[in-house]
Every structure is written in C-alpha cells, then in structure tokens.
Amino acid sequence: MGSRSRNEESHNLQKYGVPLYGAGWVPYDQVIRSTHKPPKQQDDDDKEEDQHGSKDEAVADKSDDIRRNYYVVLAGGGGAGNSGIRNAVLLSHFDFASNSLSDQPVAELRTDSDLPYRMAIHPHGDGIICALQNSCRLFEWDEVENTEIRRLGVKISEKVLSQLENVGQQLALTFDSEGTIFAAGSENGNLRVFKWPSLEIILNESEAHASVKDLSFSPDGKFLVSLGNRGPGRVWDLASSAVATPLAKENDELFASCRFFPLNNEDYVLYIAAITDRGASIVTWNTTTWKRIRTKQVVREPVSSFNVSADGKLLAVGTASGDISIIDSSSLQVRTTVKKAHLGIVTALAFSYDSRALVSASMDSSVRVTVIEDKKKSGGLNLWIIIFILLLAMAAYFLKAKGIIP
C-alpha cells in the first residue's frame, strides 16, 4: 500500500477561498465549444483544404491538445448571512503535463446569498444541477470566446428548476448513466424522480426516509437505491414506482454512500460505504438477490465521501479527518492513502471520465487532484528491482564460492 503526505504534491492542491461541498469533472468538449466552427468558417476551411490539401493532421493535433485538458467544477460558499465568504460555482483547469491545478478559477458564477450545497453533473455534459437552500438551479456553459487555455473566455448561465423550488433543501442529486432520468432527495425525506430534460415526474415519495442522504441509479436505469440518515437503504423499482426491497444494516452500521457499477452488459454490483465504530467498511451487494456478497473494513476513520471510478477498477473514500484512500474494487485492498490530503472533512470525491485522476474537495476551501498511478507500470518496475537484487545475490554467491571475495 502506498502512502503520501499532504505536502508531497502541493501543486495539486489549491484554495479558492470558498468552503467546498461539491466537485466533479466537466467533459472537455463541453467547455471547448468553439472547436465546433460556425458554418461560414467551416466553408472557408473547406475551400482552403481544396487549395492546400488535407488538414487531417492539424485537426488531429488540435484534438489531441484538447484531450490533454481537464476541467474541475466546484460548488460551495459561506451560506447566508454576513460571513463575508462568497457563494459560487467555480471552474478550474487541471494540467496533466505539469500535474497542477490553475491557481485561480478560470470561470466563476456567484449565487448571491444562496449556498450551492449539492451538485450533479449531466453525464453527457448537458449542464450541472446545484441544490441551494430553497431551489435547484441548472448551470450551463455559454460559448467559449477563446480556445487558449490560459485565457479561457467561458461564461456560466443559470436557470431555476421550478419543480424543485420551495420544496426544502435537497441533500442528494443524481442522473442515470444515460442522462435521461434525474433524482433528488430532500432533507425532509421526500424522494422525487424525473424524466430529463422534460422534468415529468416518475416517482414522488414524501416519506422515503427521515432524511435522504444519497442516491444511485442502476446502470440500466431500472432501479434507484436511496440511503437515509438512519435505518435501512431502499431499492426502488422505477417501472412500478415502488420499493423493490430494503437493504438491511448489520450491527452498528450506518450507511453513508452508495454507487452502482456494471460488471458486464447485463450484470452490475452495488457498493455501499458504511460507518461503524471501527471506522468504515465497503459492503458489496448482489443486485439479483439483493443479498450481501462481502463486507470489508477499509479505513479506521468515519467515511465522509465515496465514489467509484468510471472503469470500475477503483473505489475512493474520504474521511472526516481529511484523508483519502484509493481502493482496488476486486480485492478491496487499499492501494494508496493520502494522509491529511485536506485539513478538514472531505466533502466530495470524483474520478475523471478516463479514471486517470481523482478530485477531492473539503470544507477547508481546498481542492486536490490525485493522479492515479499505473499499477502495471509500477508493478513492472518492482519486478525488475526484484530480478536485479536476485542477480546481485547470485553474483555475490558465485564470487564468494570462487574465493574472489572473502
């Protein structure tokens, strides 16, 4: 298991002066929209191509350049009152080449006295929904005026979702994998599921839990798992808009967070991060029988955030003390731990779309990107070191046997 200190990669860590409650990755092609040229410019380029030959190579180079750029969206603030801390949705740039976050946000939208407390990113880049105190708002990117990363001219526009206005604070927001269904769970226990983007209601359960803590759709969109602040979890059958089965806790468990992941085209697994008096465990569930497959303690601190990588190979947990652990999903063994990655509670975790990096956010106003080490490369390097040591030992034995060395 690897371990890193907080200061080892400080260029991966930035503070933007806002306590953060949400973090995620924005698809690069949704930010760099100016790469989609208007018709007139495209016609001009076509004429130029006829005169000067193919420009496929130049286009490929530009596409590769775009793919090297990653954007992190963040949400948070000081809330209502006179704290002097702004409430905002922020956009930051992460550069893999230098392994660093931009020292200032490349875009920012203030939300006045409303704190963006929870966040869900549409899986195909169709905006970001943030839960504020008495409403939910959809934030979208306006046209980019400049494709040069260091001078990105991106703007963020917003609109209120009337169906979620004046219905209480929403504590859990999520889209299904196709981006056609959206769910919101509130502080007062109301669970609502909508078709997206029409917001036609599919399910409206006023007493789903005492308070809804987390939500996750199955990969095929047939089921939704909801967790409350106490009691068992629930599996909802969206076809019948009814509870399919409860997910029972054991002993002193407190279910904190849940995520599905597809094993293949038909089967999928459910992970639940649970808090116990010994720390935090990962519970794996069979999604045909809805029975537990395995429970394993992974850290000795209460878990405050949890997520699964896009390729399903890794899990990540953040703790109340600011640590981050990256876990192998098959063995549930901890691969890497970043001790004191943040000085405060880890409020949000999200893997990049290619599973190359993990962004984490905290109430201490910090955001960190942890690059995922290639296990194959590191494993190969370790093997060569072992072989080298064995060769040295054999050479020493041979020289000693020949009397060349005493």
DSSP string, 101-128: E-SS-SEEEE-TT----EEEE-TTSS-E
Cα distances (angstroms) measured from residue 387 to each of 373, 392, 400: 22, 9, 20
Q: Are 397 and 405 in contact (CB under 8 A)?
A: no
Mean pLDDT of 207-235: 96
Report the alpha-carbon angle 195-264-359, nearest 5. Answer: 70
Q: pLDDT > 90: what percent of the chain?
A: 66
Q: Kindly report which listed range (139-148, 168-177, 240-249) carries the lowest average pLDDT score.
A: 139-148
Point out which residues pair with 36 in neighbouring strands.
Answer: none
* CA distance linking residue 280 with residue 290, whole number of Å: 21
Q: What's the pLDDT band for 148 if we cut at 50, 70, 90? A: very low
Higher pLDDT, 174 or 61: 174
**pLDDT score recorded for residue 147:** 43
* Residue 124 C-alpha from the chain's centroid: 14
Contact 297, 278 (CB under 8 A): yes
- What is the pLDDT confidence band of residue 3, given thresholds at 50, 70 and 90? low
Q: Cα separation of 395 and 392, whole Å?
A: 5
Query: Which residue is it, tokens 């020289």?
Result: 399
Residue 384 vs residues 186, 263, 389, 394, 397: alpha-carbon distances, Å: 54, 33, 9, 15, 20
**In whole angstroms, what is the distance from residue 401 CA to residue 394 CA?**
11
CA-based radius of gyration for the chain: 24
Tokens 């839990």 sit on residue: 209
Q: What per-residue confidence (pLDDT) applies to 30? A: 61
Rounded alpha-carbon distances, angstroms, from residue 186 to 50, 132, 214, 265: 58, 11, 10, 32
* Confidence (pLDDT) at 4: 55
CB-count exposure of residue 280 (10 Å: 0-12, 13-18, 19+): buried
List, in order, residues 6 or more apart from 90 with CB less than 8 Å away. Answer: 16, 18, 73, 74, 75, 105, 107, 108
Condensed to tens digits (0 to 9), the pLDDT of residues 307-344 reads 999 999 999 999 999 999 999 999 999 999 999 999 99
Distances (CA, A) of 157 to 58, 88, 117, 310: 32, 12, 18, 28
Burial class (CB in 10 A: 0-12, 13-18, 19+), 295: middle
Q: Return the residue matching tokens 């600011």.
A: 322
Give tens-digit pLDDT for 344-394: 999 999 999 999 999 999 999 999 999 998 765 544 455 667 777 777 777
Q: What mean pLDDT do residues 8-35 have?
A: 77
Exposure letters 198-209 (e unless 16+ CB within 10 A, then b)? eeeebbebeebb
